[in-house]
Structure 1
Amino acid sequence: MAHAPASRFDPQEFVSRLPRLPGVYRMLNAAGEVIYVGKARDLRKRLASYFTKTTHGPRIEHMVGQVAGIEVTVTRSEAEALLLENNLIKSLSPRYNILFRDDKSYPYIVVTSHPFPRLAFYRGPLDRQHRYFGPFPNAGAVRASIQLLQKVFRVRTCEDSVFANRSRPCLLHQIKRCTAPCVGLIDAETYREDVRNAMLFLEGKQEEVLQALARRMEEASARWAFEEAAVYRDQVQALRRVQERQFISSGKALDADVIAVAFAGPEVCVNLVMIRGGRHLGDKSFFPQNAEDCDAAAALEAFLPQHYLTRPAPPLIVVGEPVDVDALSAALSERSGYPVQIQTRAVGERKAWLEMAARNAQLALAQRLGTHATQQARVQALQQALDLPSAPRRIECFDISHTMGEATIAACVVFENHAMKGSEYRRFNIRTVSPGDDYAAMREVLTRRYQKLAAGEGKVPDLILIDGGSGQVNAACEVLAELGLSDLTVIGVAKGEGRKPGTEELVFPKGEKRIKLAPESAALHLLQQIRDEAHRFAIQGHRAKRRKARASSPLERIEGVGPKRRQRLLARFGGLRGLLAASVDELAKVEGISRELAERIYRHLH
């Protein structure tokens, strides 16, 4: 059931015709754009509340004032409506929905199914072939846990290809971080016991592990194998120290997430504390968009489905606000295959966890506001230094990276509203210009970047930074003039004497002037931050492209040389080095290689 935007839209009449069924509604403005997506247990009752109540907050009142049409979709249940709502919010990004950035998938520790399993960092879809433990809040927590497991249980972490080709123990064995199963210094049964203990530890069954290690220590002592007993003793002591440091432990192998919300002016922070196997793995803070004038319950109601409907949920989620979670709990339980409880009234130990999460959220907010204040001061200093009519809200910076013309990459990074916007970074493969021609490369990347802007699409930058001198800046200005965007401000950041930080010069178009800011200038610090980020992003892409190009065989780029001919050539001459030393006559003797093709191969290789 739907209603398209119209100038005479009557919300009261429209709502009166709605069914009392669960579903999803989409509010549209006069331009037909979706400005809000919501779900309801009773569509008629929920939508009527927008147009009959007079106690809405400023944000909702402003949204309702823009509604020129509503579309609704009836679903079979509220849980199904929740799933549809979440999908629509992520695909449409409506202006009045509280949006949480869909970050990368969380990392896990994986124990492989190899006969001698390995511990490894893993990020991606899970399968049934291996055992996964987590998720962890960040990569650092995974690596710290792997290091701990290496120290205590000495399980290998090397790739299977390395494991299969070792002829002597590696450095990790020498520093007592691996038992060297690759060269048979430990038997398969003992190694599997170490792996089993490591997995029990990750599951939160520390006491069971300690009992098993104590038992093995006593058995070794009874056999007078005192060196072996000392190894088990050290493992027990290390695990005891871990338990002492573990300040969040319920004595149970509990998997839970604890979520708290904090406010500071217009900023909102949602802090997520992860507990796996009774161990506190760390926390992660989220800062939503479009959260002005919202309360803690609204922030949580937006966060929970957006976060958990696209990734595994633990059996217990503890939140500090009274929110309606019945539909979400049902949806998560159905997707997970086990009951997922969302607890809104925590007591005792769980209440202490919530208080800790709230402190984390407040600390993260304070750090964010401090960073924003610093960046705001830098932006204002930049406005004064460049004599701009207003403080630049959006700055785009370009850099070109290559190695003597090889694998040229151009990068564009974006600074907006006092922060770098990683989701808007872009890289461009430069193919249409001569290798090493930075000016032509700059022309190409700016043409590709701003031709849509010239057509009325995209965001207009207040300032364009070019990592380079007068040549690059003038090339940029020529492109912008051709596109009809000559009113955009372009500044070059040229490296100073000795390429030392603090000696940079700011280059203006057409050689109008060059200025040098003081090394302690806040404006210079902002320009350095943005320029360095563009350089990092460009060189990262260039190195990846160069590795890929160099990893491929030069024979792959020769027309007429397919896989079979490549194999015959490499087999005949013993590899690429022998092939490079071969003459045209020797190449022509290979089966399937004509004289003409041999000459072509020789010319390409030389």
Structure 2
Amino acid sequence: MAPHAFLPVFHPLLRSTVAFDAKSFLASLTELPGVYRMLGADGAVLYVGKAKNLKKRVASYFRENLSSPRIAHMVSQIAAIETTATRTEAEALLLENNLIKSLAPRYNILFRDDKSYPYIVLTRGNYPRLGFFRGNPDRKADYYGPYPSSWAVRDSIHLLQKMFRLRTCEDSVFANRSRPCLLYQIKRCSGPCVDRITPADYAADVQLAAMFLLGKQQEVTKRLTRSMEEASAQLAFEQAAIYRDQIHSLHQVQEKQFVSSNKGEDVDIVVALKQDGQLCVNLAMVRGGRHLGDRPFFPSNAGDSSAADAVAAFLRQHYAAHPAPARLLVSPLPNEEEEGGSAAVLGELAGRPVPVQEARSLSQKAWIEMALQNARLAILARNQATAQQEQRLAALQEALQLAEPVARIECFDISHTMGEKAVASCVVYDGNKMKKSDYRRFNIRDITPGDDYAAMRQAVTRRYDGIANGEGTAPDLILIDGGKGQVASAWAALADLGLTHLNMIGVAKGEERKPGLESLIFPEADGRPPLNLPSDHPALHLIQEVRDEAHRFAITGHRAQRGKARKTSTLESLPGVGPARRKALVARFGGIAGVLAASPEQLAEVPGISREMAEKIHSALH
């Protein structure tokens, strides 16, 4: 199936304050599957949905008894509807998911687009490597997952090392080993790097590991038992002992699960819980009968949506981007009449049946109850964290004597190495958490290397130039990682932009840079002396958290820039020196060190380099 092969059929009405004529619109609407977009009078997309039958689904919004006041409020704002017909409902699901991600409609329940699910990877070749992987799987290796957390992947890798002793080292390390590493000594690797195992035996271990990851533990146990018996019959007791240990480790893995299935099945458990003002969808994963843990999601735009609505939205958005397991257990079951058959659509996407059902057996009910309990704990933790952050913000407002509450904080930091490749960071705290989508980095240019004051002034100017022109969101508080000099430079930048009404403080490191001894520096125009808060003050803890994040973001950006610069030959940056002249210079002087030591006269002796060019090269290098 080609996900992009859609048949666009648009039905836009005039976007005005005129009441939407649903009857006329529905009369011309197709009964094909597809996606519909509800638009407001200003042209903004209110809601995106998919349908097995566009005419029937859109008509359901204009009946007297709607499912919730929220939906009724949305319908009252509709000024136009656009539809796109597709060949299948699965294609409609993919299109709906893409539109929800790109448009973020205000009435859709939105789940974070989490592409960071980890996988276990088995590379290909003579001695495949077992490893941890994040990203988009390709066809160059075999991938198993996704897993709910990095912990679940690392735990599984540890178990596989114990049972099958596959290598986990990078190819560069593997190719240059001359003796076994520590993992070989502690029986976590079979030592293929120094030929302690034959390619055939290693391939057999890889095959067993792959079967284990596919949930075929019983078949793995049978094969190992048969191999152990054959080794014993041939009096190869040392090899038989290895098989015995593998079988023992496999039994331990199967017995350690608190909730497990002896069927070796792959199941996802999806539950939704509405409690204490929060709506949480919790996803738990069972692979090969092993419960691998779970991951909570808190959707945006939930409003008064029910738990069943949240489950339906999660199924559509999550499994449009990630592979579905053999079966899904959900609680509560989504309204299939309104949302379309989830099982049918997911089955069409997967190319096989994907049952979506409520728990039936005792083990399935135990999985559901455990997922619900973890959803309760996630809601409790989220509410506690929110309360703590609100307490910190209130304490910050009081400590700094600010007239207005603080909601958005922006913090700047500068990172460089002896003036090389200076990078400024601006991180954002908003909505009681760090808002990474608003982070920015600035590559500092056209200043004296190592001039932190000029770097800070440039970063603040570039960040708030748009704010001065009425664009973007202004912060309630600006933090500057530095003392009086950095604060004065940042304040001067704000003065140039006419933004001195913004609140600003500097965070100067204390004696021996110990946390808790920081001084808060006010701009000179404020007139207040430095403020030292107690080390256990909640406002100081918030400031430290945001400041440390700015430092992390700045230093990672600087290291990337520095590494990129150092990977580039100095000769490549010389004006007028292309590949032919670089080759001639290296051939004549043996490398960059020889070129650096050469005089203009010696450089001019190289074929293709004139006296004038030699002077330019010498000047650029020195």
How would you bin the TM-score normalised by the shorter chain? over 0.9
1:2-41 paired onto structure 2 within 5 Å: 2-15=12-25, 17-19=27-29, 21=31, 22-41=33-52
> Counterpart of 1:96 in 2: which secondary structure?
coil
Is 1:301 matched with 2:312? yes
1:493 is aligned, of 507, 514, 519, to 507
1:396-407 paired onto structure 2 within 5 Å: 396-407=410-421
**Residues 17, 326 of structure 1: CA spacing in aligned structure 2 closer, same or farther, 3 A cutoff?**
closer
Deviations 1:506-563 (A, max 9, x none): 1222252221111111111111111111111111111122222222222221234444
> Counterpart of 2:387 in 1: which secondary structure?
helix
Is 1:186 matched with 2:197? yes
2:532 is aligned, of 516, 536, 539, to 516
**Residues 574, 329 of structure 1: CA spacing in aligned structure 2 closer, same or farther, 3 A cutoff?**
farther
Mapped partners of 2:200, 2:296: distance in 1: 43
* Residues 423 and 441 in structure 2, CA contact (< 8 A), matched pair in contact too: yes
2:495 is aligned, of 470, 475, 481, to 481
Mapped partners of 2:618, 2:159: distance in 1: 55
Mapped partners of 1:205, 1:54: distance in 2: 50
Q: Which moved more, 1:504-513 or 1:61-70?
A: 61-70
- TM-score by length of structure 1 reads 0.92
Deviations 1:433-469 (A, max 9, x none): 2222222222222232222333333223221211122
Q: Which moved more, 1:231-240 or 1:106-115?
A: 231-240
Deviations 1:372-393 (A, max 9, x none): 1111111111111112223211
CA shift for structure 1 position 272: 0.6
Q: Which moved more, 1:175-184 or 1:582-591?
A: 582-591
Is 1:142 matched with 2:156? no
> Counterpart of 2:102 in 1: which secondary structure?
helix
Q: Which residue of 2 aligns with 1:317?
A: 328
Is 1:527 matched with 2:538? no
**Residues 55, 308 of structure 1: CA spacing in aligned structure 2 closer, same or farther, 3 A cutoff?**
closer
Q: Which moved more, 1:579-588 or 1:334-343?
A: 579-588
Q: Which residue of 2 aligns with 1:174?
A: 185
Q: Which residue of 2 aligns with 1:152?
A: 163
> Counterpart of 1:515 in 2: which secondary structure?
coil
**Residues 41, 181 of structure 1: CA spacing in aligned structure 2 closer, same or farther, 3 A cutoff?**
closer
The gaps in structure 2 that reach 5 residues or longer are: 1-10
* Residues 121 and 130 in structure 2, CA contact (< 8 A), matched pair in contact too: yes
Q: Which residue of 2 aligns with 1:335?
A: 349
RMSD: 2.6
Mapped partners of 1:459, 1:88: distance in 2: 25
**Residues 443, 185 of structure 1: CA spacing in aligned structure 2 closer, same or farther, 3 A cutoff?**
same
The AA in structure 1 aligned to 2:14 is A
Mapped partners of 2:600, 2:231: distance in 1: 69
Deviations 1:395-435 (A, max 9, x none): 11111111111121111111112111122222222223222
Is 1:81 matched with 2:92? yes
1:211-226 paired onto structure 2 within 5 Å: 211-226=222-237
> Counterpart of 1:274 in 2: which secondary structure?
strand
Mapped partners of 1:138, 1:129: distance in 2: 23
Is 1:370 matched with 2:361? no
Q: Which residue of 1 aligns with 2:554?
A: 538
Q: Which residue of 2 aligns with 1:227?
A: 238
Is 1:130 matched with 2:146? no
Deviations 1:292-330 (A, max 9, x none): 211101111211111111222222121112212654433
Mapped partners of 1:64, 1:468: distance in 2: 52
Is 1:453 matched with 2:467? yes
Mapped partners of 1:248, 1:310: distance in 2: 28
Deviations 1:349-391 (A, max 9, x none): 2222111111111111111111111111111111111122232
> Counterpart of 2:482 in 1: which secondary structure?
coil
> Counterpart of 1:2 in 2: which secondary structure?
coil
**Residues 231, 296 of structure 1: CA spacing in aligned structure 2 closer, same or farther, 3 A cutoff?**
same
Mapped partners of 1:206, 1:49: distance in 2: 48
- TM-score by length of structure 2 reads 0.90
Q: Which moved more, 1:544-553 or 1:189-198?
A: 544-553
The gaps in structure 1 that reach 5 residues or longer are: none
Q: Which moved more, 1:201-210 or 1:108-117?
A: 201-210
The AA in structure 1 aligned to 2:572 is E
- Size of the alignment, in residue pairs? 606
Q: Which residue of 1 aligns with 2:176?
A: 165
Mapped partners of 2:585, 2:150: distance in 1: 45
**Residues 519, 215 of structure 1: CA spacing in aligned structure 2 closer, same or farther, 3 A cutoff?**
same
Mapped partners of 1:345, 1:12: distance in 2: 40
Deviations 1:115-165 (A, max 9, x none): 111112222333334221111112222222222212221111222233233
1:387 is aligned, of 388, 401, 410, to 401
Q: Which moved more, 1:411-420 or 1:166-175?
A: 166-175
Mapped partners of 1:219, 1:569: distance in 2: 66
1:91 is aligned, of 102, 106, 121, to 102
Is 1:415 matched with 2:425? no
**Residues 81, 18 of structure 1: CA spacing in aligned structure 2 closer, same or farther, 3 A cutoff?**
farther
* Residues 466 and 490 in structure 1, CA contact (< 8 A), matched pair in contact too: yes
